[in-house]
């Protein structure tokens, strides 16, 4: 099990800090979406901050700079750089640990390479987020740090090897902060119903905001759920409805407002954190979220309230799962328009396939298995789909698992919406 990084005193201090933000100066009003490049639509790309370390594409700070420079002549306006794998970081953190900390054996060859690279870079004094942010600025694009909102893995996954690699010491030391099923079973995901969990996440976001970034992204699609039947939620349910929560399934609509109250408080705290840092820099730092178009109310995402309070600068609406999906975007366009918040259709590039497992990696290394194939959206598909979303009111696209330069450059030629 990983060595301790957060003591009880530490997370109490984090909780107190979070409470301080909640009573701080008022939110800077009026959404300010990032400016599209070249007079076109707003294009945002998300880099998971791990896969290219895993593959060996990122080995040095210069590799990161070169990667960001690739976007200079594309319509990409924002790079979202993910800062966590599980709940461990890809930058030297005071709150959590680098991925792979404390391990000598690794689930996959790429996991070892990623961990060794990130630990070496940290030893050289390289802060990966700051390098990326600086390189983005040189390329003329904005940099948002992206937080996967609940990325921890089940303790039994791959014989426990990947959770030991990616789950933070905070997760290991505090099973009492994890979700419970309707039957009271302990679940893998931590619960935002606990102030200590929210404080842990806020402390990571504050570290990111301390770098010279342009904003933060809260990625709710990685990975729900965020609440269960744990005691804080059960107590809130009993207090609100006078009913036994153990007799009520997780999809009962009465849970939604209870979850939303907590998560909206968290999003407010993130907005206040950004305003606090932004005031020292004399500019507004942006906030965005990525949600599922169907499931977001069940996750505690009260998007209507977030827009009404001017908490967001751009909203990404997609679907949890592989790409190629369609849905009616127009209701979200109508919802976002009065606030000035930009609306982006969230495209997932991968249509088929899966991440390589530890067993598959072992067989591939032994020459007994071919790497699993992956099908991706083509440029023609992107263009056809983009025209559809723009006609429905989208202000741009959010691209996930997409870094092909020919795709990114080709999006500049997307036809305008039909009259």
- Kindly state the average pLDDT of the residues 41-54: 97
**CA pair distance 411, 142, nearest whole angstrom:** 18
Is residue 19 one of the residues assigned to a domain?
yes
Check residue 212 and give its pLDDT.
Answer: 94
Is residue 402 one of the residues assigned to a domain?
yes
Check residue 417 and give its pLDDT.
Answer: 56
Phi (first) and psi of residue 403, to 5 degrees: -140, 10
- Label residue 61 by pLDDT band (50, 70, 90): very high
Q: What is the pLDDT of residues 198-236, one digit of tens each?
A: 999 999 999 999 999 999 999 999 999 999 999 999 999
**CA pair distance 397, 290, nearest whole angstrom:** 12
Check residue 26 and give its pLDDT.
Answer: 44
Which domain, by its residues, includes 390?
8-413
Is residue 375 one of the residues assigned to a domain?
yes
Q: What is the pLDDT of residues 65-80, one digit of tens each?
A: 999 999 999 999 999 9
- pTM of the entire predicted model: 0.93
* Sequence-distant (≥ 6) Cβ neighbours of residue 195 within 8 angstroms: 15, 18, 19
Counted domains in the chain: 1
Check residue 412 and give its pLDDT.
Answer: 80
* Sequence-distant (≥ 6) Cβ neighbours of residue 73 within 8 angstroms: 409
The token pair at 230 is: 């744990």
Is residue 418 one of the residues assigned to a domain?
no
Is residue 68 one of the residues assigned to a domain?
yes
**Cis? peptide before 225, omega within 30° of 0:** yes
- Label residue 373 by pLDDT band (50, 70, 90): confident
Q: Is the pLDDT of residue 250 over 90?
A: yes
Check residue 255 and give its pLDDT.
Answer: 98
**CA pair distance 93, 163, nearest whole angstrom:** 19
**CA pair distance 177, 212, nearest whole angstrom:** 32
Q: Is the pLDDT of residue 15 over 60?
A: no
Long-range contacts formed by 353-356: CB under 8 A, 24+ apart: 356/108, 356/110
CATH number for 272:
3.20.20.80
Check residue 29 and give its pLDDT.
Answer: 59
* CA atoms 153, 154, 155, 159: torsion sign: negative
Check residue 24 and give its pLDDT.
Answer: 42
Half-sphere exposure of 130 (CA within 13 A, CB side): 12
**CA pair distance 36, 344, nearest whole angstrom:** 12
- 320 contacts 41 by C-beta, under 8 angstroms: no
Distances (CA, A) of 276 to 41, 206, 282, 285: 30, 10, 10, 9
Q: Parallel, antiparallel, or unpaired for β 396-400 and 342-348?
A: parallel
The mean pLDDT of the chain is 92
Q: Is the pLDDT of residue 413 over 80?
A: no
Is residue 3 one of the residues assigned to a domain?
no
Check residue 416 and give its pLDDT.
Answer: 55
- 104 contacts 171 by C-beta, under 8 angstroms: no
* CA atoms 126, 129, 131, 132: torsion sign: positive
* Sequence-distant (≥ 6) Cβ neighbours of residue 168 within 8 angstroms: 2, 5, 86, 87, 88, 96, 97, 152
Q: Is the pLDDT of residue 27 over 60?
A: no
Residue from 193, 381, 400 nearest 291 by CA: 400
Q: What is the pLDDT of residues 325-347, one digit of tens each?
A: 999 999 999 999 999 999 999 99
Q: Is the pLDDT of residue 14 over 90?
A: no
Q: Is the pLDDT of residue 419 over 70?
A: no
- Label residue 415 by pLDDT band (50, 70, 90): low
Question: Would you list the DSSP string of 261-330?
Answer: HHHHHHHHHHHHHHHHHHHHHTSPPEEEEEEETTTTTTTT--HHHHHHTT--SEEEEE-SSSS------H
- Label residue 372 by pLDDT band (50, 70, 90): confident
Is residue 2 one of the residues assigned to a domain?
no
Q: Is the pLDDT of residue 268 over 80?
A: yes
Check residue 22 and give its pLDDT.
Answer: 41
Is residue 306 one of the residues assigned to a domain?
yes
DSSP 3-state assignment of 257? helix
- 353 contacts 374 by C-beta, under 8 angstroms: yes
The DSSP bridge partners found for residue 23 are none
The DSSP bridge partners found for residue 180 are 186
Q: Say which range, 15-19, 172-176, 194-198, has the weakest mean pLDDT.
A: 15-19
Question: In this structure, how many other beta carbons lie within 10 angstroms of the beta carbon of residue 366?
Answer: 8
DSSP 3-state assignment of 188? strand
Calculate what percentage of the chain has a pLDDT beyond 70: 91
Check residue 358 and give its pLDDT.
Answer: 97
């Amino acid at each position: 099990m990983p060595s301790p990084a957060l003591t009880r005193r530490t997370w109490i201090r984090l909780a107190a800090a979070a409470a301080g933000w909640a009573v701080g100066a008022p939110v800077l009003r009026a959404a300010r979406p990032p400016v599209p490049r070249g007079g076109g639509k707003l294009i945002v790309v998300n880099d998971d901050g791990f896969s290219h370390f895993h593959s060996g594409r990122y080995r040095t700070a210069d590799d990161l700079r070169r990667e960001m420079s690739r976007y200079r002549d594309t319509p990409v306006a924002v790079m979202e750089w993910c800062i966590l794998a599980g709940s461990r970081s890809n930058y030297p953190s005071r709150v959590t640990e680098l991925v792979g900390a404390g391990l000598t054996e690794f689930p996959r060859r790429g996991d070892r390479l990623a961990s060794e690279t990130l630990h070496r870079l940290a030893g050289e004094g390289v802060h990966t987020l700051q390098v990326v942010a600086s390189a983005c600025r040189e390329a003329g694009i904005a940099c948002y740090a992206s937080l996967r909102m609940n990325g921890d893995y089940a303790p039994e996954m791959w014989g426990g090897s990947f959770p030991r690699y990616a789950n933070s010491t905070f997760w290991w030391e505090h099973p009492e902060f994890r979700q419970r099923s309707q039957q009271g079973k302990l679940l893998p995901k931590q619960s935002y119903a606990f102030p200590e969990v929210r404080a842990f996440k806020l402390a990571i976001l504050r570290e990111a905001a301390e770098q010279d970034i342009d904003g933060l992204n809260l990625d709710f699609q990685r990975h729900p759920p965020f609440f269960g039947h744990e005691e804080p939620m059960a107590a809130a349910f009993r207090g609100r409805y006078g009913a036994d929560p153990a007799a009520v399934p997780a999809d009962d609509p009465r849970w939604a407002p209870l979850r939303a109250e907590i998560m909206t408080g968290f999003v407010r705290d993130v907005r206040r954190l950004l305003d606090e840092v932004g005031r020292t820099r004399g500019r507004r730092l942006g906030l965005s979220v990525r949600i599922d178009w169907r499931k977001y109310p069940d996750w505690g995402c009260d998007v209507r309230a977030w827009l009404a309070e001017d908490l967001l600068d751009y909203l990404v609406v997609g679907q949890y799962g592989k790409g190629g999906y369609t849905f009616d975007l127009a209701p979200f366009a109508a919802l976002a328009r009065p606030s000035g918040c930009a609306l982006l259709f969230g495209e997932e590039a991968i249509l088929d396939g899966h991440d390589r497992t530890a067993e598959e990696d072992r067989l591939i290394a032994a020459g007994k298995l071919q790497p699993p194939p992956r099908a991706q959206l083509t440029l023609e598909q992107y263009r056809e789909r983009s025209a559809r979303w723009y006609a429905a009111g989208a202000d741009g696209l959010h691209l996930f698992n997409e870094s092909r330069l020919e795709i990114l450059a080709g999006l500049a030629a997307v036809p305008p919406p039909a009259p």
